[in-house]
Amino acid sequence: MIRTKPFRDRIAATAGDELNYRLTNHIPRRLASIWIGHISRSENPLVRTVALWLWRRFSALDLFDAETTRFRSMHECFTRRLRPGTRPLDRDPDVLTSPCDAIVGTFGRIEGGRALQVKGMDYALAELLGDGRDAEALEGGTFVTLRLTSAMYHRFHAPYDCRVIRVRHIFGDRWNVNPPTLRRVRRLFCRNERVVVETVLPDGRAVTLVAVAAILVSGIRLGFMTLREGRRPLRDVVKCDLAFQKGDELGWFEHGSTIIVLGRPGLAVIETLQPGDRIRMGQKLLRLSHPYPGSR
């Protein structure tokens, strides 16, 4: 009898995961994303009110720190800005901060050119990044997976003073990126549309942010560059040299999704961080080692 309740809880959780997976993935993902995108941008008062009510009903949406709580559309709420001071930055010069609000997923050392999607399921960084040479340069470095839920603040920021040197836009699918799907769909991050933002820190260390789109609205936007829309398999590579300071806004998602932070050797995950932890933009994520292994 003592084991009955935990067993039933596990069965219920498994059934819930299965239902979640089927409802969000066994549909025309691209058409669903386009349809929800149109609804989210509608400024019709009735459509906006119903959409926001449903969103609040089925998510933990909290607008306490939002710049405003009056929105012309659900899209405005998705991409909302925050009141100044609600995301204080960790100013420690040895720390890279989280680029976004998120739930911490898998993290660890990059070995054999691979990173973990979930325990027991990995993927090749060469496929994720669309460039084998970039993947090779990350060997022995660190990866951290940050999952944004639909209710979270959707903008992402520079984790450190840096220069953005290249952006690669890779078109792809729109699988959900929630845990039930991550456990079932191999190489999911390599299948979805994504934007690879390559940065260099002042001491020469390279840090790459991979913004991965997901089902429903799914769009990724950069504040410093217009990304090309498209449906066919295509990879746009744009070289640039743009300076950002820690905490400067880089872009935003138009729905919840994922950011994968990749660093070359010389970066380590903050010791107290655990998978499943909630982290906010501006809080400690990675620590710099000294001296930098790649310096001379």
Which residues are identified as catalytic?
101, 157, 257
Which residue from 15, 7, 37, 279 is spatially nearest to 159, judged by alpha carbons? 279
- Residues β-bridged to residue 252: 155, 221
230: Cβ contacts below 8 Å, ≥ 6 apart: 171
Beta strands 194-200 and 284-288, pairing class: unpaired
DSSP 8-state class, residue 159: S
From residue 5, how far is each of 8, 10, 12, 13, 123 by CA, in Å?
A: 5, 9, 10, 12, 36
- Closest C-alpha to 258, from 159, 166, 150: 150
Spatial separation of the C-alpha atoms in residues 273 and 244, rounded to whole Å: 26
Length of the chain as a residue count: 296
Closest CA to 255 of 194, 203, 213: 213
- By the 8 A CB rule, do 90 and 282 touch? yes
Phi and psi torsions of 8, nearest 5°: -65, -40
Contact between residue 254 and residue 40 where contact means Cβ atoms under 8 Å apart: yes
CA torsion 219→88→266→291, rounded to 10°? 150
Strand order through the sheet with 155-157: 155-157, 249-253, 220-222
Residue 122, number of CB atoms within 10 A of its CB: 17
**Residue 87 dihedral angles phi and psi, to the nearest 5°:** -130, 75
